[in-house]
Amino acid sequence: MTPPPPFAKGPRPSGENPSPPEGSAPGDAAGRWMVPIAALQHAVYCLRQAALIHLEQAWAENRFTAEGHQLHITVDIPDARARRGVRRVTALPLVSMRLGLEGVADVVEFHRAPAGSTPAGSAPAGSETPYPVEIKRGKPKPHAADTVQLCAQALCLEEMTGLPVPEGAVYYGETRHRLPVAFTPELRALTLDTLRALRRLFETQATPPAPSRTGRCRACSLIELCRPKAGATSALAWRARTLAARLDSPDGDDETPP
């Protein structure tokens, strides 16, 4: 997995925070931050992680990110081909101007609707129903980070194509299986709630404190940059230990305890 690009903003009134780094994608006409779809996955996992990556432009590799990057090599190159009646597009750019979302889908399959009558709410006969597929290195997770990211892709595809996107899938490299994901009203609501939380984060430009999630912190490549244990330390307790160490030092130096 490569470092995500910086987020972007549209035209801004005077007195606001400085513009994002050069090379960012343009914002929307309303002047909102364009939220990267990948940021939703980071935010569900840990809102502080999302801030470190997308606000502070911090990034670090570990074994998990390196393996994810290797798995994505084949889908990071734009391509389109058809097989068994299914059109498959890789590295497909996505955008929702209504929601202020943008990103790139690993894979989008376009399944042609069969001729004849179709159920209410489905794509018209003869049209192609988008079916996003997100590639992940590990296995299904107990949290909704991957499914929220996939649902955000579906929301973009619905706006771009004008067709309903009822389902997609996450392919996990460790199990080598697809996990079908239905875009239920509950998942869509969670995705929009996460988007709103990210927009508040981008507007305030404030990185939240580290939460206490030992398991997630251990797996995070940013743990050395985040330093969650240091953030959980009381400033008063740190000052008391520092003063005590200086008073106890035989040389009277300014050594700070570890």
Distance, in Å, from the CA atom of 174 to the CA atom of 2, rounded to the nearest integer, reads 19
Report pLDDT for 243. Answer: 83
pLDDT tens, residue by residue, 209-220:
887 666 788 878
**What is the b/e burial string over 123-133, where b = at least 16 CB atoms within 10 angstroms of the residue's CB?**
beeebbbbbbb
* Residue whose token pair is 């990948």: 38
- As a whole number of Å, the end-to-end CA separation of the chain is 33
pLDDT tens, residue by residue, 34-91:
999 999 999 999 998 898 888 888 766 555 555 555 555 656 677 788 888 899 999 9
Share of the chain above pLDDT 90, in %: 43
SS3 content of the chain, % helix, strand, coil (to 5): 35, 20, 45
What are the residue boundaries of the structural domains of the chain, listed by start?
8-219, 227-258
* Residue whose token pair is 């709630």: 193
> Which residue type, as a one-letter code, is found at position 186?
E
Q: Considering the domain 8-219 in this protein, what is its CATH number? A: 3.90.320
Task: Give the torsion through C-alpha atoms of 55, 57, 62, 68, to 10 deg.
Answer: 80
Reported pTM: 0.72
